[in-house]
Chain A
Amino acid sequence: MPIGIKDKVVILGMGCSRFGERWDASPEDLMIEAYSEAMADAGIAPEQLDAAWFSTHMSDVGTGRGGLPMGIALRLPNIGVTRVENFCAGGTEAARAAVYAVASGACDIAIALGVEKLKDTGYGGLPVATVGTYIPQWYPAAVAPANFAQLATAYRHKHGVDAALLKRAIAHVSVKSHANGSKNPKAHLQKAVTEEQVLDAPIIAEPLGLFDCCGVSDGSAAIIVTRPDIARSLGKRDLVSFKALQVATSNGWEMHSNEWDGSYFHTARIAARKAYAEAGITRPREQVSMLEVHDCFSVTELVTMEDLYLSPEGGAVKDVMDGFFDAEGKIPCQIDGGLKCFGHPVGASGIRMLYEMYLQLQGRAGPRQLKDPRIGLTHNLGGQPPQNVCSIAIVGRLEG
Chain B
Amino acid sequence: MLGIVGYGAYIPRLRLNRKAVTQANAWFAPHLGGKAKGTRAMANWDEDSITMAVAAARDCLGSGEDRSRVHSLYLASSTLPFAERLNAGIVSEALTLGDTVEALDIGGSLRAAMSGLGEALSKAQTIKGDVLLLAADNRKTRAASAQEIDYGDGAAAMLVGTRNVIAEYLGGGTVSVDFVDHFRLAGEDIDYFWEERWIRDEGIGKLLPKAIKTALKNAGVTAESVDHFIFPSTLSKIDAQLAKTCGIKPAAVVDNLAAGVGDTGTPHALLMLAHLLETAQPGQLIVVSQFGSGAQALVFRVTDAIRNFQPRTGASKWLARGVEETSYTKFLAFKSQLELERGMRGEQDKKTALTTLYRHRSAILGLVGGRCEKTGEVHYPPSRLSYTQGAPALDTQKPYKLAERQATVLSWSAEYLSYYPSPPHFYGQIDFDGGGRILMEFTDIAKGDVDTSTRVEMVFRVKDVDDKRGFVRYFWKATPLRDATAQVSE
Residues of B within 8 A of A133 (CB): 352-353, 355-356
A121 vs B347: C-alpha distance when bound (angstroms)? 12
Q: B387 touching A257 by the CB < 8 A rule?
A: yes
A123 vs B432: C-alpha distance when bound (angstroms)? 37
CB<8 Å pairs between A and B, sample of 29: A122-B344, A123-B345, A128-B345, A134-B353, A134-B356, A134-B360, A136-B350, A136-B473, A137-B364, A140-B425, A140-B427, A141-B348, A142-B427, A143-B417, A145-B413, A146-B415, A149-B413, A149-B415, A150-B411, A204-B416, A205-B413, A205-B424, A251-B387, A255-B439, A257-B388, A258-B436, A261-B410, A262-B410, A385-B411
Residues of B within 8 A of A371 (CB): none
Chain B interface residues toward A at CB < 8 A: 343-345, 348, 350, 352-353, 355-357, 360, 363-364, 377-381, 383, 387-389, 410-418, 424-425, 427-429, 431-432, 435-441, 447, 451-453, 463-464, 473, 475
A152 vs B180: C-alpha distance when bound (angstroms)? 59
A139 vs B360: C-alpha distance when bound (angstroms)? 13
The secondary-structure label for the interface of chain B is mixed
**With A128-B345, A136-B350, A262-B429 known to touch, is A153 a contact of B389 (CB < 8 Å)?**
no
Residues of B within 8 A of A121 (CB): 344
Find the residue from B381, B411, B436, B473 having the highest chain A CB count within 10 A.
Answer: B411
Q: B464 touching A136 by the CB < 8 A rule?
A: yes
Interface size on A, residues (CB 8 A): 41
Residues of A within 8 A of B463 (CB): 137-138
Name the distance in Å between A371's Cβ and chain B's nearest Cβ: 40
Known A-B contacts: A136-B352, A137-B356, A138-B463. Give 18 more (CB < 8 A).
A133-B355, A134-B353, A134-B356, A136-B464, A138-B475, A142-B427, A145-B413, A146-B413, A146-B417, A154-B410, A205-B416, A206-B413, A252-B383, A256-B387, A256-B437, A258-B432, A262-B411, A385-B411
Query: Is A332's beta carbon under 8 Å from chain B?
Result: no
Select from chain A the residue with minimum beta-carbon distance to B343: A123
A134 vs B473: C-alpha distance when bound (angstroms)? 12
**With A134-B360, A137-B357, A258-B435 known to touch, is A253 a contact of B424 (CB < 8 Å)?**
no
Name the distance in Å between A244's Cβ and chain B's nearest Cβ: 24
The 6 closest A-B pairs by CB, nearest first: A133-B353, A205-B415, A150-B411, A149-B413, A146-B415, A146-B413
Q: Which residues of A from 224 to 276 have beta carbons under 8 Å from B?
A: 251-253, 255-258, 261-262
A68 vs B452: C-alpha distance when bound (angstroms)? 47
A153 vs B414: C-alpha distance when bound (angstroms)? 11
Residues of B within 8 A of A123 (CB): 343-345
Residues of B within 8 A of A128 (CB): 345, 348, 418
A236 vs B167: C-alpha distance when bound (angstroms)? 93
Name the distance in Å between B346's Cβ and chain A's nearest Cβ: 10
Name the distance in Å between B449's Cβ and chain A's nearest Cβ: 12
In the complex, which of the residues A143, A154, A257, A385 contacts B418, with contact meaning CB atoms closer than 8 Å? A143
A140 vs B464: C-alpha distance when bound (angstroms)? 10
Query: Is A191's beta carbon under 8 Å from chain B?
Result: no
Query: Is A125's beta carbon under 8 Å from chain B?
Result: yes
Query: Is A374's beta carbon under 8 Å from chain B?
Result: no
Name the distance in Å between A214's Cβ and chain B's nearest Cβ: 14
Residues of A within 8 A of B436 (CB): 256, 258
Q: A143 touching B431 by the CB < 8 A rule?
A: no
A137 vs B380: C-alpha distance when bound (angstroms)? 13
Query: Is A181's beta carbon under 8 Å from chain B?
Result: no
